[in-house]
Structure 1
Amino acid sequence: MSLSSHLQELKKKHQHLSEHVEVMQRSPASDDMEIAKLKKQKLMLKEEITRLSTH
């Protein structure tokens, strides 16, 4: 897998997580621990995208 395709895949995953977090935050029955876990995954993806983009 090339670097650019890997970055694209990471960006897709990041976007998907963003959308999922938004939906969960709007739901009254949402699990705060699950939202925190998803936000942490989202942050890790963002850091990885930034790290790969600067190389």
Structure 2
Amino acid sequence: MSLQAHLNELQAKHKALEAELAEAMNHPASTDAEIAELKRKKLRIKDEITRLQQPHAA
């Protein structure tokens, strides 16, 4: 998989988690632990995207 394809996949996952997080935050049955886990997953993906986009990351 090329770097750009990997970045595109990560960005799609990040966007999906963002939507899932928004839905969970608006759903009264969601627990704080579930919301925190979604936030952690989203942050890990964002960190990986940032790391891969840095010029010296290759």
Bin the TM-score by the shorter chain: over 0.9
Normalised by the size of structure 1, how large is the TM-score? Answer: 0.96
Deviations along 1:4-54, one digit per CA (max 9) or x if unpaired, are: 000000000000000000000001111110110010010000000000001
Q: Which amino acid aligns with 1:18?
A: E
Q: CA RMSD in A?
A: 0.6
**Unmatched runs of 5 consecutive residues or more in structure 1:** none
Aligned to 1:48: 48
Tell me: higher relative CO, structure 1 or 2? Use CA pairs within 8 A at least 6 residues apart.
1
**CA radius of gyration, larger in:** 2
Q: Give the length in aligned residue pairs.
A: 55
Aligned to 1:9: 9
State the percentage of identical aligned residues: 49
**Unmatched runs of 5 consecutive residues or more in structure 2:** none
